[in-house]
Chains A and B, each alone.
Chain A
Amino acid sequence: MKRYVLERIIRSLFSIFCVVTIAMFLVYSQIDRNNVFKEDQAVLKLKGQPDAYLNYRYSVWETLGYLDYMTQRDACTLEYDVNSKEFTSCLEIGSPEAAALGEQYKAKGYSVEPTPESGALWFTRDYTLVERIVRFYSGLINIDNPYAVQDANNPDLERKIYFGNDLAGKPALKCSGCEHKYLIYFNSDFPFIHQNIVTFDLGTSYPAYKNQAVTDVMSLRQGSAVKETVTFETGLTLDTSILDHTCTYKEVLDQLDSNKFVDNYANCLTNMAEDSMMSVSIKMGLMAVAIGYGLGIPVGMLMARRKGKLADKLGQAYIVIMISIPSLAYISFFRYLGTQYMGLPGKYPELGGADWRSWVLPVISLALPQIAGLMMWTRRYMVDQSSSDYVKFARAKGLSESEIFSRHILKNAIIPIAQGIPGSIIGCINGAIITESLYAVSGMGKLLPNSIKGFNNSMVIALTFFFTFLSVFSLLLGDLLVTVIDPRISLATSKKGGRK
Chain B
Amino acid sequence: MEEKNIVLSAKDVVVKFHVRDRVLTAIRKVSLDLYDGETLAIVGESGSGKSVFTKTFTGMLESNGWVDNGEIMFEGKNLLENKKNRDWEKVRGAKIATIFQDPMSSLNPIKTIGSQITEVVMKHQGKTKAEAKEIAIDMMDRVGIPNAADRFDEYPFQYSGGMRQRIVIAIALACRPKILICDEPTTALDVTIQAQILKLIKDLQKEYGFTTVFITHDLGVVANMADRVAVMYGGQIIEYGTVEDIFYNPKHPYTWALLSSLPQIGVKGEELYSIAGTPPSLFNEIKGDAFAPRNPHAMKIDFEEEPPFFQISPTHYAKTWLLDPRAPKIEPPHEIKVLHQRMVEMTSKGGAFYVE
Neighbouring B residues of A401 by C-beta, 8 Å:
85
User: Is B259 an interface residue when CB atoms closer than 8 A count as contact?
Assistant: no
* Cβ-closest chain A residue relative to B94: A398
Cα A487 to Cα B171 with chains together (Å): 21
For B171, list chain A residues within 8 Å (CB). Answer: 393, 397
Query: In the complex the two chains form, what is the Cα distance from A399 to B158 in whole Å?
Result: 24
Tally the A-B contacts, defined by beta carbons under 8 Å: 83
Complex alpha-carbon distance, A396 and B97, angstroms: 7
- Pairwise interchain contact A398-B91, C-beta atoms closer than 8 A: yes
Q: Residues of B contacting A403 with CB < 8 Å?
A: 119, 123
**Closest residue on chain B to residue A497 by CB atoms:** B157
Q: Mark B91-122, 1 if CB is under 8 A from A, else 0.
A: 11110011010100111111110000001100
**Neighbouring B residues of A395 by C-beta, 8 Å:** 60, 92
CB-CB under 8 A from A393, the residues of chain B are 98, 100, 106-107, 168, 171
Task: Flag A372-401 by CB within 8 Å of B: 1 or 0 each.
Answer: 000000000000000011101111111111
Is B202's beta carbon under 8 Å from chain A?
Answer: no
Knowing A393-B106, A497-B158, say if A399 contacts B97 (CB, 8 Å): no
Question: Which A residues lie within 8 Å of B98 (CB)?
Answer: 393, 396
> Do residues B109 and A488 form an inter-chain contact, with CB atoms below 8 A?
yes
Any B CB within 8 A of the CB of A73: no
Q: Given contacts A486-B110, A496-B158, are A398 and B105 in contact (CB under 8 A)?
A: no
Q: Determine if A357 is an interface residue (Cβ-Cβ < 8 Å).
A: no
Residue of B nearest to A307 (CB): B63
**Chain A interface size range:** 20 to 34
Which of A32-40, A64-72, A260-268, A406-414 forms contacts with chain B?
Answer: A406-414
Asked whether A481 is an interface residue with its Cβ less than 8 Å from the other chain, the reply is no
Q: Max chain B CB contacts within 10 Å: which of A388, A395, A403, A497?
A: A395
B123 interface neighbour in A389, A399, A411, A486, Cβ under 8 Å: A399
Task: From the candidates B86, B105, B112, B119, name the one contacting A389 in the complex (CB within 8 A).
Answer: B105
- Inter-chain contact B85/A390, CB cutoff 8 Å: no
Q: Which residues of A contact B91 (CB under 8 A)?
A: 398
> Contact: B120 with A399, CB < 8 Å?
yes
**Cβ contact within 8 Å between A412 and B108:** yes
Chain B residues in 8 Å Cβ range of A497: 157-158
A208 interfacial contact with B, CB 8 Å: no
Q: Which residues of A contact B309 (CB under 8 A)?
A: none
Residues in A whose Cβ lies below 8 Å from that of B93: 396-399
Determine the distance from Cα of A419 to Cα of B86 in the docked complex, in whole angstroms: 36
- Check A397 against B110 for contact (C-beta < 8 Å): no
Verify if B212 is at the interface (C-beta below 8 Å from A).
Answer: no
**How far is A395 from B105 in the complex, measured between Cα atoms in Å?**
14
With a cutoff of 8 Å between Cβ atoms, the chain A residues found around residue B172 in the complex are 396-397
In the complex, residue of chain B having the shortest beta-carbon distance to the beta carbon of A400: B89
CB contacts (< 8 Å) of A411 on chain B: these are 110-111
If A389-B100, A407-B119, A488-B155 touch, whether A396 touches B108 (CB-CB below 8 Å) is: no
User: Is the beta-carbon distance between B89 and A399 smaller than 8 angstroms?
Assistant: yes
Q: B253 → chain A, closest Cβ, in Å?
A: 35
Q: In the complex the two chains form, is A412's CB within 8 Å of B85's CB?
A: no
A398 touches B100 (CB 8 A): no
Complex Cα distance A497/B124, Å?
33
The answer for the CA separation of A497 and B157 in the assembled complex, in Å, is 7
From B88, B90, B106, B157, give the contact of A390 (CB < 8 A): B106
Contact of B109 among A396, A407, A412, A485 (CB under 8 A): A412
Instruction: Report the minimal beta-carbon distance from B189 to chain A, rounded to whole angstroms.
Output: 15
When C-beta atoms are compared, the residue in chain A nearest to B63 turns out to be A308
Residues in chain B near residue A392, CB distance under 8 A: 60, 100, 106
Which residues, 99 to 130 on A, are CB-close (under 8 Å) to B? none
Docked complex Cα distance between A488 and B107 (Å): 13
A399 and B115 CA atoms in complex are apart in Å by 13
**Residues of B close to A486: CB separation below 8 A:** 110
B155 x A396 contact (CB < 8 A): no
Identify which of residues 127-177 in chain B touch chain A, using a CB-to-CB cut-off of 8 Å: 155, 157-158, 168, 171-172
The answer to the question of A415 belonging to the interface, with a C-beta cut-off of 8 Å to chain B, is yes
Q: Is the pair B100, A396 in contact by a Cβ cutoff of 8 Å?
A: yes
Closest beta carbon of chain B to A359's beta carbon, Å: 38
Q: Is B260 an interface residue (CB 8 A)?
A: no
B123 lies within 8 A of A487 (CB): no
Is the pair B157, A488 in contact by a Cβ cutoff of 8 Å? yes
Q: Give the complex CA separation of A400 and B93 in angstroms.
A: 11
Q: Which residues of A contact B39 (CB under 8 A)?
A: none
- Residues on the B chain within 8 Å of A388, using CB: 105
Judge if B58 is at the interface, Cβ distance under 8 Å: yes
Chain A: CB-nearest residue to B59: A395
With A488-B155, A497-B157 already in contact, the answer to whether A398 and B107 are too (CB < 8 A) is no
Question: A173 to chain B: closest CB distance in Å?
Answer: 45
**A455-494 interface mask toward B, CB cutoff 8 Å, 1 = contact, 0 = none?**
0000000000000000000000000000001111000000
Q: Which of B97, B108, B157 is in CB contact (< 8 Å) with A394?
A: B108
Residues of A within 8 A of B158 (CB): 496-497
Chain B residues with CB under 8 A of A394? 108
Q: Which of A390, A399, A412, A487 is within 8 Å of B155, CB to CB?
A: A487
Output the nearest chain B residue to A487 by Cβ-Cβ distance: B155
B206 CB to closest chain A CB (Å) equals 23
Contact A487 B120 (CB under 8 A): no
Q: What chain A residues lie within 8 Å of B157 (beta carbons)?
A: 487-488, 496-497
**Interface code B44-73, partner A: CB below 8 Å = 1, 0 otherwise?**
000000000000001010000000000000
Residues from chain B with a CB closer than 8 A to the CB of A400 are 85-86, 89
A412 surroundings in chain B (CB, below 8 A): 108-110
Return chain B residues, CB-CB under 8 Å to A396: 58, 60, 92-93, 97-98, 100, 172
CA distance A487 to B113 in the complex (A): 12
B86 nearest CB neighbor, chain A only: A400
* Chain A residue with Cβ nearest B155: A487
In the complex, what distance in Å separates the CA atom of A392 from the CA atom of B168?
Answer: 12
Choose from A390, A415, A485, A496 the contact partner of B107 (Cβ within 8 Å).
Answer: A390
A21 to chain B, nearest CB (A): 40
Please report the C-alpha to C-alpha distance between residue A407 and residue B112 in the assembled complex, in whole angstroms.
12
Residue of B nearest to A496 (CB): B158
Complex Cα–Cα for A486 and B108 (A): 12
B163 → chain A, closest Cβ, in Å? 12
Q: Which residues of B contact A390 (CB under 8 A)?
A: 105-109
Closest 6 A/B residue pairs (Cβ):
A398-B93, A389-B105, A398-B92, A397-B93, A393-B106, A396-B98
Listed by A's residue number, 12 A-B pairs whose Cβ atoms lie within 8 Å are A389-B100, A390-B109, A392-B100, A393-B107, A397-B93, A398-B124, A399-B120, A400-B86, A408-B111, A412-B110, A487-B110, A487-B112
A394-B108, A400-B86, A496-B157 are known contacts; what are 16 more A-B pairs with Cβ within 8 Å? A392-B60, A393-B98, A393-B107, A395-B60, A396-B93, A397-B93, A397-B171, A398-B92, A399-B123, A400-B89, A403-B119, A407-B119, A487-B112, A488-B109, A488-B110, A488-B155
